[in-house]
Amino acid sequence: MSGEQGGGASGQDQTWFGAGSEATAENWGFVREAEQYLEGGYEKLVTGEELPLIQLLAALSLAFGVGNMREVFLASVMFLPPWYFNGDGFDGMISTLSGIQLYKKKYRTMAFPALLESYKLMRDFTSKKYVTKNGLIRVGTFLVGYFAASLKYV
């Protein structure tokens, strides 16, 4: 028993989470990485580069208005034009479903996404860019959805 150290008398108390010692701080590197990731995401959100949560809410709103699988298929296909031109493919899906639901008079589910897309177009317009490639693609995908619904394809 002389080789064992007693309860906390030696000053070396340790708990399962490391007791804050600097030797175990290396084990918590993922916290620093997560913080850097969140800070980068916040910077993108503030500068207007990305609106992931708002886009997710817009897509969720549109999901409640989907009437058949052809709408989902068309929206999935319309992911490609914005993505191909280095834009956000998610915008193409949102614009297409907004166009479909506008024609079908599903105003409750398409109002928020349509306002979001309008905001993005106005942001481009007020930043002196007037006509951007991504803005034209957004309008184009909206019109594809609108005319696909009016021609009864979806």
CB 97 within 8 A of CB 117: no
Beta strands in the chain (DSSP E): none
- Mean pLDDT over 109-137 rounds to 83
DSSP secondary structure letter of residue 20: G
Task: Specify whether the CB–CB gap between 90 and 51 falls below 8 A.
Answer: no
Q: Which of 127, 64, 125, 63 is nearest to 90 (CA)?
A: 63
Question: How many structural domains are present in the chain?
Answer: 1
What does the mean pLDDT of the chain come to? 80
Residue 14 lies in a domain: no
**Based on the number of CB atoms within 10 Å of its own CB, is 66 exposed (0-12), middle (13-18) or buried (19 or more)?**
middle
Q: Is residue 111 pLDDT above 80, yes or no?
A: yes
Per-residue pLDDT at 138 exceeds 70? yes
Decide if 67 is inside a domain. Answer: yes
Domain that holds residue 72: 51-150
